[in-house]
């Protein structure tokens, strides 16, 4: 049977290892920054999955503060999803573009209301858009009469930054004048923004944070070919940085058309997928995608390969897609199947620019949902977006099903161990990546992408690679079976 003999073999992460090689640097000196889209550079090559048990605003904020980026899932109404994007974008700023303001004739009661409703501690005072004062909780501390006018309580002629603000000049003003809010005005005195000391402190505390040009955290949102016109206007209003065409089968007419519409009508950055072949990657690159997402069936909760009999083991899928994407200069995100930090090294070694994680992040404190106590241990729920419960919440079209269809699932519902806060866990993952770079002598991710020295291992090799012939008595933070 000729055709059986000519069936190509495909490998998964467990089938391969990178060869160690000469290194002239220490792992902590490795540069793990990466570009996942034109102009979107991350200090940490980790993207959190657009799944309803993985990424909502809390996870997106926590991951972006560590240097990665989150993709808000789409089992939310367009309005809810856009609100979550907005929450991420508002969490950190250098300059707040559109600060809440008051007019001099408003009352102190109005000021309290705006401050409490929006959890802020001060407001610039403007008259016809021109800055005339500032009122903060400091001014209000001893003000008992809520009927007083703002003009009677505010600090008039406040210190301000004129023109395009520079970080150092703003810092100097905070220090010299012991203030907490610094309005920004143009040459005519019109308010154009607000800088707060709280934001400055957050920037200092999270030096790796993934931010846009205005110092706001980066965030993406999942959309589908069938709902993009409902989601895009709201997402763009919320200043989403990129969208992810989130489908299980990206090698389709619908996804190609959606990429074209997103590029021509909305001029947004698009991650398109999922594909598992070189042809699939080429199709979406030709359609105009800015980044390709790879993975058909490798996910820990996926049953697509079992239900539909299709797919490509993930290491080969990433390498295949990268054979086309890397030469076209289009980044690839390896989505699904990452079990340990070593798999991140292998995915990038196969040519990816970043990895998307579902399972590894589902058990974090910042992922949606509550902790579950079961038989004395703490867990969090983790389910496929193609599971019955997720389909019933609205994700059926990801698996080419119509609303109201009886679910034919391509995923399962389950639980994963609770792992605590994200920051120390991300540290484990990226230190594992740095170690891989140290062992291979690849100082940058682009060197690792081009390294290409792998060995295939057997089942015996895999068994030898894992802890074996021992009962683990103390689980390390980066390994469990």
Q: Backbone phi, then psi, for 244, in 5-degree steps?
A: -120, 115
Which residue's Cβ has the minimum distance to ligand XMP? 411
Is 481 catalytic? The answer is: no
Instruction: Give residue for tokens 């086309």.
Output: 324
Please provide residue 195's backbone torsions phi and psi, each rounded to the nearest 5 degrees.
-115, 135
CB of 366 to ligand XMP, least distance (A): 16
Choose between 99 and 225: whose C-beta lies nearer to ligand XMP: 225
302 is catalytic: yes
| Catalytic-labelled residue, pool 398, 415, 434, 449 | 398
Q: How far is the CB of 431 from ligand XMP (least distance, A)?
A: 19
DSSP states of 187-206 as a string? TT-BEEEEEEHHHHHHHHH-
Strands (E), 13-97: 16-18, 34-37, 40-42, 46-48, 69-72
Nearest CB to ligand XMP, comparing residues 122 and 396: 396
Q: How far is the CB of 382 from ligand XMP (least distance, A)?
A: 7
Q: What are the beta bridge partners of residue 411?
A: 302
The structure tokens 């069938």 sit at: 226
- 3 — phi, psi (to 5°)? -65, -30
CB of 87 or CB of 359, closer to ligand XMP = 359
Distance (Å, whole) CA 158 – CA 135:
10
- Report the nearest approach of ligand XMP to the CB of residue 475 (Å): 20
CB of 133 to ligand XMP, least distance (A): 50
For 203, the token pair is: 């920037």
Nearer to ligand XMP, 241 or 335 (CB): 335
Please state whether beta strands 220-223 and 69-72 pair in parallel, antiparallel, or not at all (unpaired).
parallel
Contacting residues for 367 by C-beta, under 8 A, at least 6 apart: 53, 54, 55, 56, 58, 59, 361, 380
Smallest distance, ligand XMP to C-beta of residue 254, A:
17
Nearer residue to ligand XMP within complex by CB, 45 or 183: 45
- Catalytic-role residue among 74, 231, 302, 449: 302
Q: For ligand XMP, which is the closer residue by CB, 16 or 248?
A: 248
255 CB-near residues (< 8 Å, 6+ apart): 225, 245, 247, 249, 272, 284, 287
Residue numbers of the site for ligand XMP (CB under 6 A)?
A: 49, 51, 248, 274, 295, 297, 299-302, 304, 335-338, 356-359, 384-387, 410-411
- Catalytic positions: 302, 398
């Amino acid at each position: 049977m000729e055709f059986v003999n000519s069936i190509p073999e495909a490998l998964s992460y467990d089938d391969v290892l990178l060869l160690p090689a000469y290194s002239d640097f220490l792992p902590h000196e490795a540069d793990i920054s990466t570009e996942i889209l034109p102009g979107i550079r991350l200090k940490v090559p980790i993207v959190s999955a657009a799944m309803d048990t993985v990424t909502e605003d809390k996870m997106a904020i926590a991951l972006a503060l560590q240097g990665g980026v989150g993709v808000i899932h789409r089992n939310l109404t367009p309005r809810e999803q856009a609100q979550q994007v907005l929450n991420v974008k508002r969490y950190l700023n250098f300059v707040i573009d559109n600060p809440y303001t008051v007019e001099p004739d408003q009352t102190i009661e109005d000021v309290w209301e705006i401050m409490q409703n929006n959890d802020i501690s001060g407001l610039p005072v403007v008259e016809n858009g021109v800055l005339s004062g500032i009122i903060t909780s400091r001014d209000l501390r001893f003000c008992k009469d809520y009927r007083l006018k703002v003009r009677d309580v505010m600090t008039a002629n406040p210190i301000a930054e004129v023109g395009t603000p520079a970080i150092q000049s703003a810092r100097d003003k905070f220090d010299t004048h012991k203030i907490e809010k610094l309005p920004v005005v143009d040459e005519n005195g019109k308010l154009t923004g607000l800088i707060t000391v709280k934001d400055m402190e957050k920037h200092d505390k999270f030096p790796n944070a993934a931010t846009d040009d205005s110092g706001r955290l980066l965030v993406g949102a999942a959309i589908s070919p069938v709902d993009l016109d409902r989601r895009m206007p709201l997402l763009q209003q919320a200043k989403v940085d990129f969208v992810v065409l989130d489908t299980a089968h990206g090698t389709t007419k619908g996804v190609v058309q959606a990429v074209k519409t997103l590029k021509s009508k909305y001029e947004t950055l698009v991650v398109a997928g999922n594909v598992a072949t070189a042809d699939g990657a080429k199709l979406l690159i030709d359609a105009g995608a800015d980044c390709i997402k790879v993975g058909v069936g490798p996910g820990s909760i996926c049953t697509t390969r079992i239900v539909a009999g299709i797919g490509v083991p993930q290491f080969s899928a990433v390498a295949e897609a990268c054979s086309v994407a890397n030469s076209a200069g289009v980044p690839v995100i390896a989505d699904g199947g990452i079990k340990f930090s070593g798999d991140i090294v292998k995915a990038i070694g196969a040519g990816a620019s970043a990895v998307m994680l579902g399972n590894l992040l589902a058990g974090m404190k910042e992922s949606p949902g509550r902790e579950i106590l079961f038989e004395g241990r703490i867990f969090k729920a983790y389910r496929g977006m193609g599971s019955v419960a997720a389909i019933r919440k609205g994700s059926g079209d990801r698996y080419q099903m119509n609303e109201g269809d009886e679910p034919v699932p391509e995923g399962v519902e389950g639980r994963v161990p609770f792992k605590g806060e994200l920051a120390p866990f991300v540290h484990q993952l990226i230190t594992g990546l740095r170690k891989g770079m140290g062992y291979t002598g690849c100082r940058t991710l682009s060197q690792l992408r081009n390294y290409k020295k792998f060995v295939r291992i057997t089942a015996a090799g895999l068994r030898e690679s894992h802890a074996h012939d021992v009962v683990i008595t103390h689980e390390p933070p980066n390994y469990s079976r």
